[in-house]
Structure formats: C-alpha cells, structure tokens
Amino acid sequence: MSYLTAQPAERILLGPGPSPVPQRVLRALSAPTLGHLDPQYLTIMDETCAMLREVFGTKNALTFPVSGTGMAGMECCAVNLVEPGDEVIVCVNGVFGARMKDVMERCGAVVHALEAPWGEGYTIEQITAKLDQHPKAKVFAIVQAETSTGALQPLEGIADVVHARGALLLVDAVTSLGGHELKVDAWGIDAIYSGTQKCLSCPPGLSPVSFGDRALARMDARKTKVQSWYLDVSMLRKYYTGGSGAGGGRVYHHTAPINMTYALREALVMVLEEGLDARIARHAAMHQRLRAGLADLGLGYIPSRSLHSLNCIRIPEGANDGAVRGRLLTEYGIEIGAGLGVMAGKAWRIGLMGHGSNVRNVDLVLAALRNILK
C-alpha cells in the first residue's frame, strides 16, 4: 500500500461543527513549534487566556483551554467539581444534556435528571422546584446551546436560585461562545466549558473552560483525588497560572498543544477585532435571513427558542433525509447535519457559526435546498 499526501476536498461547513476556519487561523497553526515552557510560548498562552476571559465575560483567573475537544471540557468540569456520592442535578433535553448526565454518573455522582421534551427549555420555576426536591444537590448543570436540537436556554436568573440552595451552576456553552450573548460573571456562572470548533472558527482540539471562586473553593475542599490525572485542575492551575504562591513558577503537567494555542489565539484576535457585540449581532442577522428563506420554502424550526448558530429544521414530508444531504455534499460541496437521537431522520441541522455565518452561505444553502426539494 502506498500512502499519498492527503488532499481533502474543500467543503462549505454548514453543519453542527466544525465551522469554516479562516486562512489567518490556519496560517497561525503552521507557525514554528515552541516548547511548552518557552517564555515566548507562555506569553502567547497568557494572551490567549486573557482574550478567553473577554469572550466569556469574566475576570476568572482560572480561564484556559483544556487539551481536547468540548467533551474534554465537560469531563474536566465534572471530575473536578464532583466527588463520589455527591448529588447533582443535570438538565436533559437533548444529546448533550444526556451526555453530561452520563459523565457525572461515571464520576460516582447521584444524578437527578430534570427532563424536558427535546427542543424545549426550562423556566426558573421548573429549576427552583427541582432544586427544592433535591436540597443536597451540589451542582446544577445545564446546556445553554443544545447542539442536537438547536434549542437556546436563557441563563439569566438561574444562578440566584442555584446559589441560594448552596449549589454550583455549571454551563455547557460549546455552541454558543462567540456567537450568542454569554456573561459568565454577570450571570453568576461558577464553571463553564466550550469548544474551539464552533462559533470561534478554530480547528477542533481545545476546550475553553473557566472556573469562578465558588468552584475553586469546592475543588480545594475535596476529600478525594480527582479521578482523572490528565484533567486534574489542582495540577493544571499551577501551569496556567503559575501556582498560588507569590512569584510561583510554571509547573509542568503535560505538553500543551502548542500550535493549537497559536490557532486559538488568532481566532480570538479575530473575534475581538470584529467586536463581540457586533459578532453576536451578525449571528442573529444571519439566523433571521436563513429563517425567512426557509419559511419561503415551507420549512419550519423544531425548537421553540432557536439558537442563531445552529438551526434545527423539520424535514418536510416526502423528503429523503440522506438523499438531500448527499446531494448537498456532492453537488454543492455543502455539509449540513443530520438529526441525532430521537430526531434522527426528522431534522436537518444547519450551522451558521463564526466565519461561516455570512450572507453568501445563507443564500447558497437556501438556493441549493430550493433546487433539490422542488
């Protein structure tokens, strides 16, 4: 067998992720590799973490990119905040809420699921009732942007009822960071994780996380070791922040993904050059443009409150799911996503994230769907 240099086809990525990556970010990825303790790299890493704080809307010192995709961020939060026997509440209204429940159970937690129909969200009253039902819960976990259903969950006010009952608020923002309003400090979020390959338009491989003071206090009071050595924040923080002592040096933990940090830094520079508010407004405008065009085609949305970054569309009666997506890919080079879980065969997921959220892509996918469905 001969191995030839891979030449992947160019695709227009309008699925649930990854999103299109700008040339600037790809060029940054190819810069010379440095050592993970090189002073120049540490400066680049510190700048990256500072920009992540801006995009998250937080002053949390412990804000950094976990080595791994968004699910590594989910596991990092879970294994550090939860000890065996702890009670936690997880909101389950799609694949990623269910996945968080699974991860928590693997940490030895007693998980109480707050379930809702796929595509629906939660009210403060529902959340309060569940917390009152389980007063020993130490963590309340919820997905802001449920990628499997395209549903957006409002977060304002949730921290008030969570904190009043002594629990921590953990948020999944994998498909919202950089494309939807997100205010970690103002909304009282204690721990949060995301991914680079969605609205930040960076290749997959890092998971930005942020831990507030309440979360750090919970971790410092642990009675058991974190079950994952690789994701143990008690050690990672000594690398990313230089330790807790004055003048403390960087403590080696594992070899950081150097070139991915370059890419994330450049992606964050582009976010802040555009302006976070302007970027969020662009995602909202492109969502409305797509929504109007889909309505003209007789196509409707599944979630009652839709994400701007991920549009979950009901497949029209008589349309062949796989055939339509196949023609989009082969004839137009457009990738959109299929439905997951209970929505398999019932939904198309059209991502308008980061660099891919623009007029050209909206009008192109609408024209392609119009030609295929007629």
Q: Which residues, including other chains, have CB under 8 Å from residue 360's CB and lie 6 or more apart?
A: none
d(CA 84, CA 37): 34
pLDDT tens-digit readout, 307-316: 999 999 999 9
Asked which of 58-62, 186-190, 250-254, 351-355 is least confident by mean pLDDT, the reply is: 250-254
Q: Delineate the domains of the chain, giving CATH numbers in brackets.
A: 12-16+276-373 (3.90.1150.10), 23-271 (3.40.640.10)
- Please state the φ and ψ torsions of residue 323, each to the nearest 5 degrees: -65, -40
| Confidence at residue 1, expressed as pLDDT on a 0 to 100 scale | 58
Neighbours of 252 (CB within 10 A): 12
Place of tokens 């407004």: 281
pLDDT digits (tens, 9 = 90+) for 63-97: 999 999 999 999 999 999 999 999 999 999 999 99
Q: What is the pLDDT of residue 2?
A: 62
pLDDT tens readout for residues 15-52: 999 999 999 999 999 999 999 999 999 999 999 999 99
Among 95, 44, 37, smallest CA distance to 70 is for 95
pLDDT at 3 over 80: no
Q: How far apart are the C-alpha atoms of 146 and 153, rounded to whole Å?
A: 8
Residue 248, pLDDT > 60, answer no
Rounded mean pLDDT of 202-230?
97
pLDDT band at 245 (very low <50, low <70, confident <90, very high): very low
Residue 6 confidence (pLDDT): 75
* Cβ atoms within 10 Å, residue 288: 12
pLDDT category at 4 given cuts 50, 70, 90 is low
Residue 210, token pair as written in the block:
């942020």
Distances from the Cα of 4 to the Cα of 8, 30, 342, angstroms: 12, 20, 40
**How would you class 24 by CB atoms within 10 Å of its CB: exposed for 0-12, middle for 13-18, buried for 19 or more?**
middle
How far, in Å, CA of 234 to CA of 232, rounded? 5
Query: Phi, psi at residue 7, to the nearest 5°?
Result: -125, 80
Please spell the DSSP secondary structure of 77-95, one letter per residue: HHHHH--TT-EEEEEESSH
Please state the length of the chain: 374
Provide the phi-psi class of 73: left if phi over 0, else alpha when psi is between -120 and 50, else beta.
alpha
